[in-house]
Structure 1
Amino acid sequence: MPAMDLSLIDSVRSASRKMVRELGFMQSTLAATDYPPSAVHAILEIGRQQSLTAAQLADILNLDKSSVSRMVRKLVEAQEVQESANSTDGRAKTLTLTPQGQTTWAAVEAFGQQQVAAALAPLAKTQHSVVRDGLAAYALALEALRLGKATKPAVPTNIQRGYQPGVIGRVAQMHAHYYARNFGFGQFFESQVATGMAEFTARLDQPHNALWTAVQAGRVVGSIAIDGEDLGDQIAHLRWFIVDDSLRGTGVGRQLLHEALAFCDQQGRAAVHLWTFQGLDAARRLYEGAGFVLAQEQPGTQWGKEVVEQRFVRLRHAASTV
């Protein structure tokens, strides 16, 4: 590890300790609930993802499976969480929030939002992005260190909403490079992406449409869009979800997906649909972790080459209050 200023290290450690104390993690309960921090985080993640297995929850919380199993049992006994059979793995159970759990989740979300808003309010607006980007970069660096991926300094990645110059070409370029290299897609596919993006960005002034990009050092390195018009019937269409090769596995994709699904939930969309194809296993795990299920599978050539096309659907939880 290269030599580093010890005063910098001490300052970061001191700020980290203070943040832990100020956020209430030294207390026996958290976020105005009767639950310890680990249980509150479990409720937050199950609520945001709509459903999780215990193994997925353990990975997200960075806890051993036995600890998560005990915690889940207590939350089930408290009627915050319910278990059901998993449709793809008979050995696992799917965890979802009960109506009481949905109420608890909404209260915790409101508490956290108010806490952050109140803390940021006295700061200048120019400092808001500094806080966000600094925390995000440090969190990703800590995660990379734990996973053994900390090979180079983390560069802050900023999630931005809306059109920005060059985004159409850059999104088309990322899709073209990745799918040409891994699946042999060619000019037809790149043209489809560019044409679709150009048509969609002209409709970003409509309230049901939105585009998010991940930006690193001024360069677009990821994207996701919600088209709220083309499928109708209160169905949102998730489109153009991709991250640059350099960011795969860093959590940026999960951040983009969270932004898009939170937008759909806030709008009260009945369902979110997306089209993909067989073989994109990492993306499928991400989708399923966010509550999507495979609804349709068939051979097709809509991307210019025959693949087994798949349609995934995420239904809005009946008791969701977001």
Structure 2
Amino acid sequence: MTTSKNTLSKLLADTKFSHECEELLSCLPKDKGFFAEYLYQYQGFWYPPNILEGVLYSQKHFQAKDSDIILVSSPKSGTTWLKALVFALIHRHEFQNPQESHPLLDNNPHTLVPFIEGFQFHNQDASPSIFSTHIPLVSLPESVKDSSCKVVYCCRNPKDAFVSLWHFVKSLVLEEMVGCTMEEMVSGFCRGSSVYGPFWDHALEYWKESRENPEKVMFVMYEEMREQPKDWVLRIAEFLGCSLTEEEIEKGVLEDIIKLCSLENLSKLKVNEKGKLVNGMETKAFFRKGEIGGWTDTLTPSLAEEIDKTTEQKLIGSDFRFFC
């Protein structure tokens, strides 16, 4: 067994849970998963037990400040790229030559912008502090909902998000996978039994909140950002209260940020080719193609149709549409 397998086995199977989590797991609905032996349904969404432990911990202990920035997405929906972009935006005045000296050159974006359900929010002294999460809106810590912190949600086409998750799981060589075929994984994904799923409910919650509370929640489409990165980085900067000045734009600051944070650039850095996160995950697993419509290389027509049918059913009664 490889080192990565040992690490993931410890993460997903051998974690010692709190008494509260153990009691909760014993009474929650459960379903066979593809990321762990079982997923458990909590507040309408599905989690492996180790992630549920993190969700419970963050609900009790995470204290958001009004100046905080929370980056949200479903897994494999542009999380890594969004973290890099926002980190570079917020800290652009500290690093005048980003191509020569910048934390992103030596650190994976997940190290610089930690997940709040990953027990990594103890140092909240910086202002603003940037955090990330995959936690659905209904399960966010109350302090996030009650404070004036800003939330940016990145959404991706479900077929591309699924395929990216499929390759991510394969790259980690998860022996714990129960739904080990793509057909089984699509089935679980479509019935909502996937990590932080149902995927569609996750997106719709944040989309509705962004319409009802646009000063707090910004909803962005991964595909639109890929096609028009300059426009969307400027919009995100304005939403976060750190708009770029005309002088900065003329000096090429915007272009420098986009170049530094491009998936093409980040994936070639040594830290993302051979590095590891504190939990042992190899950083290269977070980088693949990031293409729009890349699902066509992986999904069969029948599996794509299965996801499309689920999408159509989930969006009944809503004018929200995923980017096609």
Relative contact order (C-alpha < 8 Å, sep 6+): which is higher? 2
Same fold (TM > 0.5): no
TM-score (norm 1): 0.28
| Length-normalised TM-score, structure 2 | 0.27
